[in-house]
Amino acid sequence: MLRRDYETQVCSIARALELVGERWTLLILRNVFLGVRRFDDLQSQLGIARNVLATRLERLVDNGVLERHPYGERRVRHEYRLTDKGRALWPVLVELMQWGDHYSPTPGGPPTVLRHEGCGGFMGPHRTCTRCGALLEFDDVRAEVGPGASPEHPLRTREYARA
C-alpha cells in the first residue's frame, strides 16, 4: 500500500518512508537498537500480532535493514541484527526521540536517556555530547532507563544495555 502510494514522489524522504514508514516498523527497529533481537521478545514487548511482526521483519530483511542469525541448540531459531544500512537509521530514531521528549513528554520524564559512554554527558542537539561536545555515533552512546520509564521498559526487563 505504502509503496504504491508514494511511488509518484521522486524524493529521498518518500523512498525512506516506503521502507520504514509502515506502522510499527520504527518501533521494531527501536527495540532491536536496544538489544531486543528475538521474535518472541519483540512480540511480547510490542504487543502486536505475530503475523504483523513477521511481515515487518521479513520486509526489513528483504531490504537489507536487518539480518537473520540462527541461534538455539535443540531447534534452530533466529534473531535479528542490524546491518550497516539498518544502523544508519539510528539518527532518525534519536531525532524522533528527542522531539518526542520535548514536545510530547511523558509525565515522569524521558523513558530513555542516552549518555556519552565514558564521558557521562548526555545526547544533545545534532547528536553532540552536552558535556564534551563530541559528535556522537551509535557506538559512543549508552541507553539508560530514564525517570519516565514503565516497568516494561526493554532495558529493565533484560540486560539490554547498549543503545
Q: Give the interface with its own copies as residue ranges (CB under 8 A).
A: 2, 5-6, 8-19, 21, 23-24, 26-27, 30, 46-48, 64, 85, 88-89, 91-93, 95-106, 110-112, 125-128, 135, 148-150, 152-153
Q: Using the minimum distance from each CB to its own copies, give the nearer residue, 72 or 105.
A: 105
Q: Are 102 and 109 in contact (CB under 8 A)?
A: no
What is the closest distance, in whole angstroms, from the C-beta atom of residue 71 to its own copies in the complex?
A: 26
- Tell how strand 112-116 and strand 66-71 pair up: unpaired
What is the closest distance, in whole angstroms, from the C-beta atom of residue 18 to its own copies in the complex?
A: 8
Q: Using the minimum distance from each CB to its own copies, give the nearer residue, 72 or 91.
A: 91
What span, in angstroms and rounded, lies between the C-alpha atoms of 39 and 152? 17
Concatenated DSSP letters for 122-163?
BB-GGGBBTTT-PBP-GGGEEEEE-TT--TT-HHHHS---B-
Q: Using the minimum distance from each CB to its own copies, give the nearer residue, 117 or 146.
A: 146
